[in-house]
Structure 1
Amino acid sequence: MTDYYNANAAAYFEATVDVEMGPLRARFLAHIREGGRILDAGCGSGRDSRAFLKAGYRVTAFDAAEPMAELASEHIGQPVEIMRFQDVAWAERFDGIWACASLLHVPRPELPDVFQRLTRALKPGGVLYTSFKYGNEDRKEGRRHFTDLDEAGLAALLEQVPGLQGLEQWISGDRRAGRAHERWLNALLRKG
């Protein structure tokens, strides 16, 4: 998976860094205390980390692809860690976790463990935002793996993650130019 982003980091950065995600971030931030700690998990270009920092939140960001992490670090003006979801080991550190269009690259059998790791990283009452391409397939596009989720798939996943409950979910179009026909499942989940 990281091979694709290692080879295409600059192009991916340019294609995503200016995408307007304000409405999605606002839904997430409504649940995060002012100045709280946010983990941008699979931060890509760092677009959302930068917005969170500008809004006064304390942000930790990581990405699995080293060239992407370097570009994001330059963009946000602070280090971006190089790590995979499967290596997350924080405990009760974050008020919120933002996993925008990133967990969809985790193979379906590994999602329960990854969600448990992210849940452990949240403080009690903390909120996780995640988004998946809408559907129920596991598929390959070139060198990238995609795990698509619909409402039933998300419900089945949450049954395997004790302590994480759904707050709300909704379907949206892709926010990138010319891709509004692509559908996404968005979810806000709270640690009990």
Structure 2
Amino acid sequence: MSTLQYYDENAQDFFLSTINADLSELYAHFLPRLKANALILDTGCGSGRDSKVFLDKGFRVIANDASPKLAYSANQYTGLEIQVCDFHHIQTSISFDAIWACASLLHVAAIDLPSTFQVLAAQLVNNGIFYCSFKYGTSSGMRNGRYFTDANEAYLKEWLKNTPLIIDDTWITSDVRPGRETEKWLNAILVKVA
């Protein structure tokens, strides 16, 4: 089973298990860096939870997910038209003020992450803000039906080496979902430099 197949087959369970996760600590690192009415790309939007928060706070949002079933759930939840595509095929000629990639890039193989960061960086305005998160660690492979690439600060730095993105801040958090507090996450705020 592929990661995409997993999300299509488990879309409803995934939606229900993530929709109420309280990520206010992450939003507090990200949103104050944005101007009012900023345009955010929520890439790999999953349930649409974060898109809805951003919309409710007055930001403009474009969202995508590779899973048609999750995109449908996110559309029902947010009212946004959710683009069904992977990171390399986002259909837009618009530049974004910010990109939010919460627990989504971790499904990209490590060897492909430099080019994925390049492609996404091209969608950002200069000095644009880019949030991403990965499970904290150094392993990669299939786990529970999905492919994961874990990251630490050194890995992230390596993946960004030939991109216009620089690391502005990194911090570690615990998973906020009940029963998963021992899982650690690497969070990063990146900035696109001209």
Shared fold by TM > 0.5? Answer: yes
Counterpart mapping for 1:71-86 below 5 A: 71-86=73-88
Amino acid at match of 2:70: M
Rounded Cα–Cα distance in structure 1 between residues aligned with 2:12 and 2:47:
9
Unaligned runs of 5+ in 2: none
Structure 1 ranges of 4+ moved more than 4 A: 89-92
Amino acid at match of 2:176: R
| Match status 1:188 vs 2:189 | yes
1:106-165 deviations in Å (ceiling 9; x for gaps): 01111111100110000111010000000111121133100000011011111132x111
- 2:161 matched residue in structure 1: 159
SS at match of 2:81: coil
Once the two structures are overlaid, the 10-residue window that deviates more, 43-52 or 86-95, is: 86-95
Rounded Cα–Cα distance in structure 1 between residues aligned with 2:37 and 2:79:
18
- Determine which of 62, 65, 73 is the counterpart of 1:60: 62
Amino acid at match of 1:104: L
Rounded Cα–Cα distance in structure 2 between residues aligned with 1:34 and 1:166:
23
- 1:176 matched residue in structure 2: 177
Identity between Structure 1 and Structure 2 (%): 42
**Residues 92, 79 of structure 1: alpha-carbon distance in 2 compared, 3 angstrom cutoff:** closer
- 2:107 matched residue in structure 1: 105
SS at match of 1:78: coil
What TM-score, normalized by structure 1, do the two folds share?
0.96
Unaligned runs of 5+ in 1: none
Counterpart mapping for 1:42-53 below 5 A: 42-53=44-55
Rounded Cα–Cα distance in structure 1 between residues aligned with 2:94 and 2:47:
26
SS at match of 2:177: coil
Rounded Cα–Cα distance in structure 1 between residues aligned with 2:93 and 2:85:
16
Work out whether residues 64 and 90 of structure 2, in 8 Å CA contact, stay in contact via their aligned partners in 1.
no
In the comparison of the two structures, how many residue pairs are matched? 191
Rounded Cα–Cα distance in structure 2 between residues aligned with 1:153 and 1:26:
25
SS at match of 1:23: helix
